[in-house]
Structure 1
């Protein structure tokens, strides 16, 4: 480990800090359809569940999550903004830092007005806005509709998407042909604002299409994932017309690709690709008679073996079709289904690091402690990569085991290196960014190693 006075891009962390601790099994409850769509007056309670940026200014990391409301955040930031504004020494950022932040802000869909503040030298105002927005991940609500007949793989997808295993009280039971009359709603255990709605089958003996439309309000959803067996029906075509009229995004999903491959005579890797190609070719040809639906997106996936099929394409489709903040909430909550998902998680976390670094650089200048925010961000790295789960203990030679004590040691390391020259906003930004990105890089390697372990485990 390098001395406390030197931080470079080559800085690495020791492997023997702290001890392992098996921890964190999220609790989750199914909720009623009515509860899910309550107005924003009830969202305040949800907001209080996450660590807020402004509330914990000046407080040391204690190992206990801190709470607060969005309105309290704004009041705290207003007070601190007055303190910052009264500081006569207004610093300017180096051009490369400005461009780096602008690139990430544009990608994250930050308002142009906020970006103009950064370009015009209003760094404090930019940092304050980012502090308020930092909690958005736990506030934004995402409603995903899972449609299609029973037996098409809906329940398996709902479980895989939430990282829920058999035996969990909220495990979605796999259907065997029975059609439900109700909408079953599942919260994501990592983020209760992400809701998956298992919709009843439409145009069946139990549910007419008209009855389906009376029960399901299409405009309530961000995205429809429509599962099917072989070919769409005339009712599917009618349903798509309703979705397009409501301007709600949708796609079709053919699941259980792993079962098709297992049914093939030869299951070598090369043959797996051939089997998938033949399935896609056959289904695409059968869709030709549905002219209005030829441009619909279809994804072929396996919920049991996400590395087989087009799970990456499905995740990229969701990224394009929902708001950036909503996709980031989804991305940071889903398991590491594929290597591409690991990479997308990494890019999203890296963007957060840059935004945290500028807040640290600005607020540190007026004597505000940022230990709680650094600690929360490090905990988030582990959580997003699933490295806080027991399964991570199976990774050989992992760089950073998960435990409260270990994270505490990393935070102590951050504090000790903070004694170096942090006289300017640019130096503070580079210091915080370098420290956290070096840690993030190594945790991403641990996440890739865990993904490889999971893939090999499923092959056994």
Structure 2
């Protein structure tokens, strides 16, 4: 009488072991973008719906066209850059110098020894097309009201923030930098009155520059702020010191905000849509699963648009035949997931076929169905991951305009 109970005990142990092998890792969620510009994409219901419909169609060319259309439309939106810092640090003068215009010109930012900017003021420059430069009122506040300043200035509504400093890198500057890091915003630190420092310091220029940078970095490091780009400039000499480097960096980051960040955000939305489609297929496989794994595998590839025929058509449409788009093959499955390798191995396969024989009168049907479903699930997960990886690659290869590459 002990024999059946021992068999059951060993069989239960085996099933539990299999279950431990086939627990699926949770998929990564989409993280918030680093700019207000791309947050407009992330929180647009219309964009999410368009991408979800394109993914459901199983035609990657449709997805590429939708993403390309969205990025082209978004690229017409202005990138918003804010200048902030303590009052008297030369924010308005810096904006004029960045725009390469004099303080006396008609549309220049007003400057002076007293606080001249009372409300956020918007400026434009032909040097940075379709970019809004915002001159914000200086902090000029106590440490206790810094949070109020951040809220009042709505700094989370800007794509890039330039923290202006001079004479000293104050606690307010550090708090601003810390806030930017917390809000996942790109930001620079710009020291604006280098001409005054050079004329009054006993140090040689290389030593002075190193001293200023070291002071900024040490203050940020104390608050565990990762080192941002730091530029040392003179507002009265907009063609020397770090100004050329600053303009080049700014142009590159504007392009990244407009294209690279946008594509990353849209790729994340694509991933989410693919995961939703995958979850539906996993649910359906529980009801309509089959023992013919190769047939199921080909069906899943085709439904996601990553079978050989679909990829060949995509390569023709995108003009990227030389890139050799190739679908994963059935014989490669066991190399891609050790859990699936275990469930597809001959001894395990034969054991469950044995349990499925008619003479058990359906005693093990639930276990057999569970086994079939888990194999199907792992195959779907592999195809899902392959689709996400491939789609990111093909979007990067086919979305950016040539001037961005």
Q: Given the two structures, how large is their TM-score scaled by the length of structure 2? A: 0.41
Higher helix share: 2
